[in-house]
Amino acid sequence: MFRERLPPGQCMLFIFPHKGFHGIWMRNMRFPIDALWLDAGGTVVDLRENIRPCSSIFDCPQYVPKSETSYLIELSAGEAKRRKIRKGTKARI
């Protein structure tokens, strides 16, 4: 939140204390992102590309993975496609 951008080649990694349906929203974000949800083994089980910042608190949907996850990786929008990341891709964490 409140960052102007992610530097090229960098991401944000969120490690959850227990697996679950960990959702995100784009309140106070200033740039679009790709979101990758991973299981405990580091496999991408869900992803959303080009999630845009909210225009207001009243128009700010929550994005929730379709299955339980242990990790979330946020990339600059377009990085998932550029790196050919899709469901089933294995990450090294």
State pLDDT tens for residues 39-76.
999 999 999 999 999 988 888 999 999 999 999 999 99
- Report residue 72 as tokens: 């979330």
Decide: pTM greater than 0.85.
yes
Residue 31 has pLDDT above 90, yes or no: yes
Maximum alpha-carbon separation in the chain: 37
Name the residue with tokens 């089980």.
Answer: 45
pLDDT of residue 6: 87
Q: 73: which residues sit within 8 A by CB, 6+ positions away?
A: 11, 12, 13, 14, 35, 36, 38, 91
**pLDDT by residue (tens digit) across 2-19?**
778 888 889 999 999 999
Q: What are phi and psi of 81, to 5 degrees?
A: -65, -45
- Rounded mean pLDDT of the chain? 93
As a whole number, mean pLDDT of residues 15-41 equals 95
